[in-house]
Amino acid sequence: MTPAESIARAVLRIFRAQKAEADNGTESFGRWHARLTAALDVPIVDTYRQGGKRAKAPADMADDLVSAAKERALFTARSINDTSSQWIEEGREPEDVFSADRAASIGLTEQAYAVHQTVALVAQKRGQKLTWRIAGGACEFCRKMEGRTRAAGKSFGKDKFGNLLYHPPAHANCDCSLQITGKPKKPVRKKSYGRDLSPWER
């Protein structure tokens, strides 16, 4: 099972319970923050750890990556619940709000976020630079990001909501990636990225 699938499965379990409440008119999203955070904690932490291995993160970064993952799980849970609450208030059907497709999209987006934040943190610790790369079929916003190079820890600009972007994804289902450039330098103080991205409509 891929990290994206593990995250999607955790989200879908919560969605099913929330949909049952929504169908009965008894939903209360505030009390679901802690439950969704707990459900996301393990798969997101595992995804960061896998990202650390791929990025060849030094051993002394292990605790930093776990902390970043837990902060991300908390943020993601709040973002998901806030969006779900908004969509229900707008009159959207529970089948759409709590769909398997939405859970899958969240899984893919969170996997991408974990991978690229890990790369950014490792590059920053090594004093390297990052170059933004797009994939085929990139959106207009991401095409403008192609080739931008920044010192790790410096923003690439702002997303469409005006929030600073330190790494992909720039939006839900973003396929952009990072290329590490430059030789490693002496370690520098890391920057936390856990709350910089907007709570997208997911």
Cα 199 from Cα 172, distance rounded (Å): 10
What percent of the chain shows pLDDT beyond 90? 71
pLDDT per residue over 90-128, tens digit each?
A: 999 999 999 999 999 999 999 999 999 999 999 999 999
**Domain ranges (residues) in the chain:** 3-181
User: Which one-letter amino acid corresponds to residue 59?
Assistant: A
**114 backbone dihedrals φ, ψ, rounded to 5°:** -60, -45
Cα 12 from Cα 16, distance rounded (Å): 6
pLDDT per residue over 163-184, tens digit each?
A: 899 999 999 889 999 999 877 7
65 pLDDT more than 60? yes
Provide the pLDDT for residue 192.
53
- The residue that leads in pLDDT, 191 or 185, is 185
69 pLDDT more than 70? yes
86 falls in which pLDDT band (50, 70, 90)? very high
Q: How many residues does the chain have?
A: 202
How confident is the model over 136-142, as a mean pLDDT? Answer: 91
Global pTM value? 0.85
191 falls in which pLDDT band (50, 70, 90)? low
Give the per-residue SS3 of the chain.
Answer: CCHHHHHHHHHHHHHHHHHHHHHHCCCCHHHHHHHHHHHHHHHHHHHHHHHHHHCCCCHHHHHHHHHHHHHHHHHHHHHHHHHHHHHHHCCCCHHHHCCHHHHHHHHHHHHHHHHHHHHHHHHHHCCCEEEEECCCCCCHHHHHHCCCEEECCCCCEECCCCCEECCCCCCCCCCCEEEEECCCCCCCCCCCCCCCCCCCCC
202 pLDDT more than 80? no
> Given strand 177-181, what is the order of strands in its sheet?
149-151, 129-133, 177-181
